[in-house]
Amino acid sequence: MKNFKPSPKELLTIDQKKKKTIAIDQIIMLKGYINYTLFYLQNGKQRISARTLKHYENLLNDKGFIRVHRGFIVNRNCIIEHNLLTSQLILKDGYEADVSRRRKHDFLNNKY
């Protein structure tokens, strides 16, 4: 494979030995599934990557993304509402992400 370097506003993903880029501002949330990561995008599409959430957490931490649960990383700019009773975030396009008990305090202190 060729040496491929995305721009600072893009994220490189590898899926079935194909390299693809995703514009970071198009990502609503990332959901972990075993050793895969599912990207939910603003255009309604979903992409899957054969990397863990931890890999993407380190890449997206300084780009406005926060890890709110063992299985979710969300884009702060896409948060519409935080339901304190159910500890869920309502995101753009109707997506929902849980906020864990352990990360709830950090999320509330660093609220978007």
CATH number at residue 73: 2.40.50.1020
Whether 5 maps to a domain, the answer reads no
Whether 4 maps to a domain, the answer reads no
pTM for this predicted structure: 0.86
Whether 16 maps to a domain, the answer reads yes
Strand order across the 72-75 sheet: 46-49, 36-41, 27-33, 72-75, 65-69
Beta-sheet pairing, 72-75 with 79-83: unpaired
Q: Dump pLDDT digits (tens) for 19-61.
A: 889 999 999 999 999 999 999 999 999 999 989 999 999 899 8
Q: Dump pLDDT digits (tens) for 3-17.
A: 556 677 888 887 777
Q: How far apart are the first and last CA of the chain?
A: 39
Report how many domains make up the chain.
1
State the residue range of the domain holding 28: 10-109
